[in-house]
A and B are shown apart, each in its own frame.
Chain A
Amino acid sequence: DIVMTQSPDSLAVSLGERATINCKSSQNILYSSNSKNHLAWYQHKPGQPPKLLISWASTRDSGVPDRFSGSGSGTDFTLTISSLQAEDVAVYYCQQYYNTPYTFGQGTKLEIK
């Protein structure tokens, strides 16, 4: 199985400041046939299902604010929230969909400082 490791486990950021979450995969998840990284980021709030934020490592899903951005390739990826808003408090997960079993990182809990 591909192991996804996120850092940090938790993060406290002031409103309006930048938040950065890292994700490392145990193997390359760049698919040669389409030259795309099979990496997604989800936002998960209590009592709600996870919400897709970013696919292909850097493509924002429809309706996702542009303060959310994803970057990285191969095995190292980053989710950045450029200016933290109160509604961004959540747990964030990266996930590889390169092969089965699809695996998630352990999650990063983002809070307001």
Chain B
Amino acid sequence: QVQLHLSGPGLVKPSGTLSLTCAVSGDSISSNKWWSWVRQPPGKGLEWIAEIYHSGSTNYNPSLKSRVIISVDKPKNQFSLNLTSVTAADTAVYYCARGTPSPGTLIDSWGQGTLVTVSS
């Protein structure tokens, strides 16, 4: 059973960079899966951010694409999210997730989620 463990700072200053890492256990980052990021601002719904395949192929939400960098670290079996130039609107619970290519990606497993607050 796959487990996704998210780590990263819970507080980021405005205009800074939000950096999160998701460590994968119970599956290989090099398996036939897509590795995704999803967020939920307080009191709002879920927003898909981006996904990455172990080959380095990526898909991004156009609304965030200019500020998002995602990457895979195969030796460490983990993947990462960097979101630049953050504002208060980026305050959210961030989730990492695993998806099965279908075509299109069916997200079937989620990490616990972490609240990231953007504030000075």
Contact = CB atoms under 8 A, between A and B. Distances in A.
Nearest to A59: B106
Interface size class, chain A: 20 to 34
Nearest to B59: A100
Contacts, number: 69
Given A49-B111, A52-B108, A101-B62, A38 B45 contact: no
Contacts of B45: 93, 104-107
B63 A101 contact: yes
Interface size class, chain B: 20 to 34
A40 B38 CA distance: 15
B104 A97 contact: yes
Which of A44, A95, A97, A103 neighbours the largest number of chain B CB atoms within 10 Å of its CB?
A97
Interface string A10-45: 000000000000000000000101101010101010
A68 interface: no
A103 B63 CA distance: 12
B61 A97 contact: no
Given A49-B95, A49-B111, A49-B113, A97 B106 contact: yes
Nearest to A49: B110
A31 B106 CA distance: 13
B1 to A, nearest CB: 11
Interface of B: 45-48, 51, 59-63, 95, 97, 99, 102-113
- Nearest 10 A-B pairs (CB), nearest first? A49-B110, A97-B104, A101-B61, A104-B46, A102-B48, A100-B59, A38-B104, A107-B45, A106-B45, A52-B108
